[in-house]
Amino acid sequence: DAGITQSPRHKVTETGTPVTLRCHQTENHRYMYWYRQDPGHGLRLIHYSYGVKDTDKGEVSDGYSVSRSKTEDFLLTLESATSSQTSVYFCAIGSSRRRSETQYFGPGTRLLVL
């Protein structure tokens, strides 16, 4: 998994509660990404970071916030969880090769919002 861990790996929570997912990398890569994966939609980008304290929104950012205070950690927070945020969440890190960014993925966090 290219030195990427995610925690927790599984979580069940209730609607309206805040939830924080953690991604940790040991590769010292600049870029980090959060995706969600749902049947029929494939992988969709939530937020990404291009450096410490530098983040930007992705395709489906509403209801999510992120923080990156250290190169190795990228946190995803669901401010007030809803059932529509039940999904599998993947963190990825970006490695620049030639002109493009190859991304390597973590093992995922399976989140169920009741």
Partner 1 sequence: EDQVTQSPEALRLQEGESSSLNCSYTVSGLRGLFWYRQDPGKGPEFLFTLYSAGEEKEKERLKATLTKKESFLHITAPKPEDSATYLCAVQPPMGDDKIIFGKGTRLHILP
Measure the N-to-C terminal CA separation of the chain; round to a whole number of Å.
30
Q: Does 105 bind partner 1 (CB under 8 A)?
A: yes
* Owner of token pair 């039940």: 86
Q: Does 26 bind partner 1 (CB under 8 A)?
A: no
Cα torsion 85, 90, 95, 97 to 10°: value is -90
- Degrees to nearest 5, angle at CA 14 with 23 and 21: 5
* Phi, psi of 21, deg, nearest 5: -110, 145
- Of the pair 16, 75, the CB lying nearest partner 1 is at 75
- Of the pair 70, 110, the CB lying nearest partner 1 is at 110
- Of the pair 7, 17, the CB lying nearest partner 1 is at 7
Residues 41 to 100: which contact partner 1 by CB under 8 A? Answer: 41-45, 48, 50, 56, 58-59, 90, 94, 97-100
Site residues for partner 1 per CB under 8 A? 1-2, 31, 40-45, 48, 50, 56, 58-59, 90, 94, 97-108
